[in-house]
Structure 1
Amino acid sequence: MIQSEKVHLLTISSIFAAIIFLFTAYFFHIPFATGYIHFGDTLVFLAAALLPKPYAIGAAVVGMGLSDLMTAPIWVLPTVLIKTLVVLSFSSKTEKIVCSRNMIGVICAYFVNVTGYFVFTGILYQDWLFPIVRLYTDLIPPFICGILFIAIGKVLDRTRLKEKFFTVRG
């Protein structure tokens, strides 16, 4: 990989990290039961579908991690681990953002988010009843973000954004 391509990817990753942070912690931050709904995961999914894995993981971890650091610091480590696994569910090696591989990624990301936060809630609170009570809070946001990812991804695919700004790697 040539130096200018690394700079390009690092720049886009940094922009994604900043936008993920803003859309998780502040923009459309909707309080909901025991947590909040945000659209940061939609941007994590997009980063994972556009950027090579290390760059997408960096964007997700920095954006979501900073958000948790500002709003609920106890969740930083679980979020870093969960979002790393979420990014691994997607592929940037396809010509389109919305493809069969990334549709499966949305489903995997849904279960990684729900299961990950369920397990970490039980561990952090040392109580397995609370994660069950809180489960409905954790079921809705990743579902909404998955639908948004598909909708936004289809629009971006029509603009051929990936073809214009990202190299498909084989």
Structure 2
Amino acid sequence: MSNEETNKKTRLIVLAALLAALVFLATAYILHIPVGGNGGYVHVGDAFIYLAAVLLPTPYAMAAAAIGAGLADIATGAAIWAIPTMIIKPILVLFFTNKTEKIINMRNVVATLIAGIVGTVLYMLAEGIMIGSIQAAFVMSLVGLVQPLGSAIVFIIVGLAFDKANIKVKYHLLAA
């Protein structure tokens, strides 16, 4: 492996770790609002999962999502959700593209909506399995629809700021 390849991999690992830390902080502590009696909570951590998805190659973004969100569940007393979270959050990465110079484009804006719906449905299924009732989980999951909206708004605001600063080009984050 050449020095240039090693440097690129190191940069990607460091950026993935930084984004995992941001996912953790935004999930566990920034606008962390407990809801319902199921140990769940509303947060804007998904905004940083979306950001990881548009800045990093998919495997790195998926790792940042799983690690950051999973650790947040454990740290906030919602450890029962850590395994479903570490399965669900990486799936949300798949709807975004990192192959354009701009973070905010039509595909990534639409991806926030798709990721929000898919995430809500997958958590509803996980909760249904845990409590033994998909119907009850569906009713409780309706509150969870607020979270994807907040995360989408934060992602778009941060993404527009990063686009204005030309972050992807400046830091060589364009996908090959």
> What's the TM-score, normalizing by structure 2?
0.90
Q: Distance in 2 between matches of 1:166 and 1:115?
A: 35
Choose the corresponding residue for 1:10, options 10, 13, 21: 13
Q: Which residue of 1 aligns with 2:62?
A: 57
Q: Which residue of 1 aligns with 2:42?
A: 37
User: Does the CA-based 8 Å contact 1:50-1:166 persist in structure 2?
Assistant: no
Structure 1 gaps, min length 5: none
Q: Which residue of 1 aligns with 2:53?
A: 48
* 1:156 correspondence with 2:162: yes
User: What is the CA RMSD across the aligned residues, in angstroms?
Assistant: 1.4
Q: Distance in 2 between matches of 1:95 and 1:65?
A: 30
Structure 2 gaps, min length 5: none
1:117-164 deviation digits (Å, cap 9, x = unpaired) = 111110111112321221222111011111211121111101111111
Q: Distance in 2 between matches of 1:132 and 1:56?
A: 28
Choose the corresponding residue for 2:145, options 139, 146, 150: 139
Choose the corresponding residue for 2:91, options 85, 92, 101: 85
* 1:118 correspondence with 2:124: yes
Mean Cα displacement is larger for which, 132-141 or 57-66?
Answer: 132-141
Number of positions where the alignment pairs a residue of Structure 1 with one of Structure 2: 170
Q: Distance in 1 between matches of 2:168 and 2:78?
A: 34
> What's the TM-score, normalizing by structure 1?
0.93
User: Does the CA-based 8 Å contact 2:61-2:93 persist in structure 1?
Assistant: yes
* 1:74 correspondence with 2:80: yes
Q: Which residue of 2 aligns with 1:28?
A: 31
Over 6 Å off, 4+ runs:
none
User: Does the CA-based 8 Å contact 1:21-1:63 persist in structure 2?
Assistant: yes
What secondary structure, in the 3-state scheme, does the structure 2 residue paired with 1:97 have? coil
